[in-house]
């Protein structure tokens, strides 16, 4: 039954319109048995939070591909805490910063910002599914 599926919120944050990866992740997560609440592209932070509250989602998956990820993603964890979603899983991935910055640096920066997992470009959806299942104890 659809309603017993674990729900996850998916979207591309900020002023970013890149839709292809979003569609692929949507497909992969669905196929893996999750109910995906896909907010699509150009999604402000508050919409991720509102969607998660109303649907009782267990994770928020944020993508950013246009290099402004750091600015757009900062503060999402605090918003979640503020909204009573302190325990929700936050994943982020994509081309999070401009240029060829060392990924370890990027990784640490986003972990510090409160994200539970940070993915570098080129990661396959399978890895995200595996991590989600592990983190949620499924």
Partner 1 sequence: MKNILLIDFGSTYTKITAVDIEKEIVLGTARGITTVETDIMEGLNQALGELFSKTGKLEFIKVLGCSSAAGGLKMVAVGLVPELTAEAAKRAALGAGAKIMGVYGNELNEYEIKEIADLNPEIILLAGGTDGGNKEVILHNARMLTTLGKDIPVIVAGNKSVAPQVVRILSESMTEVVHTENVMPKLNELNIEPARETIRGVFLRRIVEAKGLNRANQFVDRMVMPTPAAVLKAAELLGKGTQYESGLGDLMVIDIGGATTDVYSIAKGDPTKNNVALRGLPEPFAKRTVEGDLGMRYSATALVRAASVKRITDYAEVSEDDVEAYVKKVEENIEYLPQNDVERKVEIAMGRVCTCLAVERHVGQLETVFTLAGSAYVQKGKDLSEVQTVVGTGGVIVHHEQPNEILKGATYSESTPTMLKPGCPKFLIDEDYIMASMGLLGEEYPDIAVRMMKKYIVRR
Q: Lay out the site mask for partner 1 across 52-71 (x = CB under 8 A, - = otherwise).
A: -xxxx---------xx----
| Smaller CB separation from partner 1, 51 or 92 | 51
Tell me the site size for partner 1, rule CB under 8 A: 22
Helix-helix angle 20-31:125-136, to 10 degrees: 50
Under the criterion CB under 8 A, does residue 79 sit at the interface with partner 1? no
How many Cβ atoms from other residues are within 10 Å of residue 30's Cβ? 15
Print burial letters for 89-104: b (CB count within 10 Å at least 16), e (below 16): bbbbbbbbbeeeeeee
- Backbone φ and ψ of 26, nearest 5°: -55, -50
Min dist. Cβ of residue 104 to partner 1 (A)? 25
Is 126 labeled as catalytic in the residue annotation?
no
For every residue of 27-73, which 3-state class applies, written as one string? Answer: HHHHHCCCEEEECCCCECHHHHHHHHHHHCCCEEEEEECCCEHHHHH
Is 16 labeled as catalytic in the residue annotation?
yes
Binding residue (CB under 8 A) for partner 1 from 32, 37, 90, 128: 37
Under the criterion CB under 8 A, does residue 40 sit at the interface with partner 1? yes
Q: Lay out the site mask for partner 1 across 85-104 (x = CB under 8 A, - = otherwise).
A: --------------------
Name the site residues for partner 1 (rule: CB under 8 A): 2-5, 7, 15-17, 35, 37, 40-42, 47, 50-51, 53-56, 66-67
């Amino acid at each position: 039954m659809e309603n017993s599926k674990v729900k996850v919120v998916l979207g591309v944050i900020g002023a970013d319109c890149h839709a292809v990866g979003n569609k692929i992740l949507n497909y992969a997560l669905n196929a893996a048995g999750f109910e995906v609440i896909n907010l699509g592209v150009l999604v402000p932070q508050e919409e991720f939070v509102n969607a998660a509250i109303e649907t009782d989602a267990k994770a928020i998956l944020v993508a950013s591909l246009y290099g402004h990820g750091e600015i757009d993603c900062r503060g999402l964890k605090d918003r979640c805490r503020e909204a009573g979603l302190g325990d929700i899983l936050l994943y982020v991935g994509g081309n999070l910063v401009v240029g060829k910055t060392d990924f370890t640096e990027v990784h640490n920066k986003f972990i510090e910002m409160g994200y539970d997992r940070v993915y570098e470009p080129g990661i396959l959806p399978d890895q995200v599914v595996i991590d989600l299942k592990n983190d949620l104890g499924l």
